[in-house]
Structure 1
Amino acid sequence: MLLDLPVISEEQVEILLSDLLEHYGYDFTGYSKASIKRRVLRLYMLDKAVSFAEFRFKIINDQVYFKRFVEQITVNVTEMFRDPGFFKTLRNEVLPKLGTYPFIRIWLAGCSTGEEAFSMSIILKELNLLHKSLIYATDLNPTVLEKAAQGMFSLSQMKQYSENYILSGGTKDFSSYYTAKYSLAKFDEELKHKIIFSTHNLVSDHSFNEFQLILCRNVLIYFDRDLQQKVLNLFDESLEDLGYLALGTKETLDFTSVAKKYKRLPLEKIWRKVS
């Protein structure tokens, strides 16, 4: 016997997306349809919605539930020093070059709950560059930014993060960067001191500074081709000549209108703006 699973049609997903735009100004229409539908359906089933009408009503009229909805369809799973080889390249090749600048501005776009921002801060500290760096960590979701700004992560994750840290070229005792507080690891204030957490919507907001390094990893895969191009143009506009742009393992600059301005570093998804 087949279970009568709730199904949300493409049309109903479109209705929800236009509701979000109309009521809250959030534009998800350029997101990959398959990805959005999968996440919406997951939440629908998780929260045991009685009907699509009830689900829709709740999203429009209940602010708390709206926040939950946005969180569920935008939060990306992340970890500290994720893809250690990538961070090793930053440590050994990219940041030493940027270290010759009087000041380093870094943009982490789609920073989620902040693991990447603290990873970056640790590497900058170890290279003795943190004092002359500023990390702008942005996300469209204010809830995850609140969590990120606390600098507290689950203690149970620290073993994995410590392994990632060592594989990324770290040589210190990783536990020296945090203090254990019940089931949480609270990272040192010094690391947070050079991070600015702020809301920024890649879909609708403009460039807000000029950077030498922009990281946007595993975000573009959720966008359709047109929106990817729009966001890459935004990054190009925000990146200084000879600056670096880093994307996720399944993302590329190839076949985009900005590709000719960039030269890729060997092995990692990092490009340098050469013209």
Structure 2
Amino acid sequence: MNEQALFDLELKVLLEALYQRYHYDFRSYAVSSLRRRIRQAMQRYECERLSDLQHRLLHEPDLFAQAMQFFTVQVSEMFRDPAYFRELREQVVPVLRTYPSVKLWVAGCSTGEEVWSLAILLHEEGLLERSIVYATDINPAALATAEAGAYGIDRMAQFSRNYLAAGGTASLSDYYATAYDGAVFDRQLRRNVVFADHSLATDTVFSEVHLVSCRNVLIYF
């Protein structure tokens, strides 16, 4: 058995141990993606062997909470894949309008860029007032960022280009205020958004909804 095969075997043991210890289930994640991120975690926490990292994660809950960033991918942007949001606006919103109230679920919302994008789209289409958006993730730190709606000002140019390409009807800058090197989105946009901790692997469905968006998670399986 070569070194990579041994590493992958230890990785499976680690994922099973984390599931038994913390009830977070990463066992079905793509091995190639996890392998790279776990090596980064080993370097960050100065663990020469994967078994050393496993010992620390199992015996130090605070460290595991901190290390969640290596198990959950937090790479996103507002109106990512503008064509998707344009189709959502043009093809799906007319159907949603036929309901007296609308429930939407952004499952695995990560740091919230998609949630705020959806809130802006619903606002521009006159649906936000009668919508409830559930935004869930297993990473508490990512959820806190999502709920705050604060992002680096250096990201706004790309976000704005995506917004316009997605069919935005105003200027993205209408929806946020700048302070120092950050942009904070209007709190009114999240008045009908519910942020909550939820694991797609181990928790049950909590509500019937009209639309589920799981784009930040499914691409990594």
Please report the TM-score for the alignment, with normalisation by the length of structure 2: 0.92
Distance (whole Å) between structure 1 residues aligned to residue 6 and residue 161 of structure 2: 41
- What does 1:106-145 correspond to in 2, within 5 Å? 106-145=104-143
Unaligned runs of 5+ in 2: none
Percent identity, aligned pairs only? 39
Larger RCO (alpha carbons 8 Å, 6+ apart): 2
Tell me which moved more, 174-183 or 53-62.
53-62
Q: Residue in 2 aligned with 1:263?
A: none
Q: How much has 1:171 moved relative to structure 2?
A: 2.3
Q: Residue in 1 aligned with 2:191?
A: 193
Distance (whole Å) between structure 1 residues aligned to residue 62 and residue 195 of structure 2: 21
Q: Higher helix share goes to which structure?
A: 2
Any idea what SS the aligned residue of 2:210 has? strand
Q: Residue in 1 aligned with 2:59?
A: 61
**1:52-85, Cα deviation, whole Å (9 max, x unpaired):** 3432222112223201222211123100000001
Q: Residue in 2 aligned with 1:100?
A: 98
Distance (whole Å) between structure 1 residues aligned to residue 5 and residue 55 of structure 2: 17
Q: Residue in 2 aligned with 1:239?
A: none
User: Matched residue pairs, number?
Assistant: 219
Q: Residue in 2 aligned with 1:34?
A: 32
Distance (whole Å) between structure 2 residues aligned to residue 216 and residue 52 of structure 1: 30
Residue 23 (structure 2) aligned to one of 8, 25, 28:
25
Distance (whole Å) between structure 2 residues aligned to residue 155 and residue 34 of structure 1: 32
Q: Residue in 2 aligned with 1:238?
A: none
Unaligned runs of 5+ in 1: 224-275
Determine if the alignment matches structure 1 residue 15 to structure 2 residue 9: no
Kept in 2, the 8 Å contact 1:6–1:45? The answer is no
Q: Which amino acid is the alignment partner of residue 183 of structure 1?
A: D
Q: Residue in 1 aligned with 2:214?
A: 216
Query: In structure 2, do the counterparts of structure 1 residues 25 and 65 end up closer, same or farther at CA, with 3 Å as the change threshold?
Result: same
Kept in 2, the 8 Å contact 1:8–1:41? The answer is no
Residue 150 (structure 1) aligned to one of 144, 148, 151:
148
Distance (whole Å) between structure 1 residues aligned to residue 5 and residue 57 of structure 2: 18
Q: Which amino acid is the alignment partner of residue 208 of structure 1?
A: F
Q: Higher strand share goes to which structure?
A: 1
Query: In structure 2, do the counterparts of structure 1 residues 67 and 123 end up closer, same or farther at CA, with 3 Å as the change threshold?
Result: same
Distance (whole Å) between structure 2 residues aligned to residue 182 and residue 101 of structure 1: 42
Q: Residue in 1 aligned with 2:172?
A: 174
Kept in 2, the 8 Å contact 1:108–1:138? The answer is yes
Q: How much has 1:6 moved relative to structure 2?
A: 10
Residue 84 (structure 1) aligned to one of 71, 82, 85:
82
